[in-house]
């Protein structure tokens, strides 16, 4: 068992480094390592700490929701992913074991492995893509990302409207994403914990921004008013992180 754990730990370090390099950029690898790779001890993933306090996103996202979302829901994905890793089929997942390899064969691995790997990965990105803005100061992208949004959606307001509508209308649980696909920005949605990096029947692309629209992300504060949650979420988008993803 110790040999298997050592192998998984070394493989994860290598694999997450490669995936981080492709999604975040070489200058951001260290940050992703801290989130995903260094929280891998003795063959087990552990929950990464948030980059802010649970109440940092108030009044837009409440403290209780953030604490439960992080310590209960995200923790559950981590725990279940660890259990799935113990029984992963080495004939399906190529060596060395990596998230990239899971996503490449996401349609062939067990649903539990796909869903929980996606849940851990999606949430780890989601936390980074938000920041504190208690006064609701104007919050807009800048630099090359802002230019690309204006190029591909005509205006930021048009992009925001499209992203908001897709997030609001997504049936059931899932995510809304801004991705870079063939050199052009595009908004897409995925069900459950799927994401555009997975080799399944979803639109592929480099993730630039992601929004969790599972009910557990907003129900305590907003009940069934998903649209209100989405409209307020725009206040806490971390556009600096989104631009780092875009520029990677």
Domains of the chain (ranges, CATH numbers):
2-128 (1.10.287.990), 143-247 (3.55.40.20)
Residue 191, SS3 per DSSP: strand
> What pLDDT does 86 receive?
82
| Cα–Cα distance for residue pair 75/48, rounded to 1 Å | 9
Which ranges constitute the DSSP H helices of 33-109? 63-68, 75-86, 99-104
Which ranges constitute the DSSP H helices of the chain? 2-23, 29-32, 63-68, 75-86, 99-104, 111-128, 143-153, 156-169, 219-222, 226-233, 239-247
Q: Are 11 and 17 in contact (CB under 8 A)?
A: no
> What pLDDT does 26 receive?
38
Q: What are the per-10-residue average pLDDT scores of the chain (248 residues)?
A: 46 43 40 51 77 97 98 96 85 66 86 93 94 96 97 98 98 97 97 94 93 98 97 98 90
> What pLDDT does 201 receive?
87
* Tokens 């504060």 belong to residue: 221
| Cα–Cα distance for residue pair 21/230, rounded to 1 Å | 29
In this structure, is the dihedral angle defined by the CA atoms of residues 176, 171, 131 and 60, taken in order, positive or negative? positive
In this structure, is the dihedral angle defined by the CA atoms of residues 113, 115, 121 and 124, taken in order, positive or negative? negative
For the chain, how long is the longest CA-to-CA vector?
55
| Cα–Cα distance for residue pair 116/90, rounded to 1 Å | 18
Q: Are 56 and 128 in contact (CB under 8 A)?
A: no
pTM: 0.86
> What pLDDT does 41 receive?
58
| Cα–Cα distance for residue pair 39/123, rounded to 1 Å | 14
> What pLDDT does 40 receive?
57
């Amino acid at each position: 068992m110790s040999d298997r754990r050592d192998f998984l730990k070394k493989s994860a370090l290598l694999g997450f480094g490669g995936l981080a390099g492709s999604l975040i950029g070489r200058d951001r690898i260290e940050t992703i390592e801290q989130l995903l790779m260094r929280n891998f001890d003795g063959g087990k993933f552990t929950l990464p700490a948030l980059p802010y306090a649970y109440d940092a996103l108030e009044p837009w996202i409440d403290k209780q929701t953030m604490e439960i979302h992080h310590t209960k829901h995200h923790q559950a994905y981590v725990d279940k992913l660890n259990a799935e890793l113990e029984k992963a089929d080495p004939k399906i997942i190529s060596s060395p074991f990596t998230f990239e390899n899971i996503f490449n064969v996401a349609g062939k691995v067990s649903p539990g492995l796909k869903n929980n790997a996606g849940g851990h990965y999606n949430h780890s990105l989601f936390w980074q893509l938000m920041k504190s803005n208690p006064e609701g100061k104007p919050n807009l992208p800048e630099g090359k990302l802002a230019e690309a949004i204006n190029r591909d959606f005509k205006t930021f307001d048009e992009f925001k409207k499209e992203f908001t509508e897709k997030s609001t209308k997504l049936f059931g649980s899932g995510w809304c994403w801004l991705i870079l696909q063939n050199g052009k920005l595009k908004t897409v949605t995925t069900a459950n914990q799927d994401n555009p990096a997975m080799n399944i029947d979803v639109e592929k692309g480099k993730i630039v921004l992601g929004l969790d629209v599972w009910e557990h992300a907003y129900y305590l504060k907003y009940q069934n008013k998903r649209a209100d949650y989405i409209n307020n979420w725009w206040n806490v988008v971390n556009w600096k992180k989104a631009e780092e993803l875009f520029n990677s």
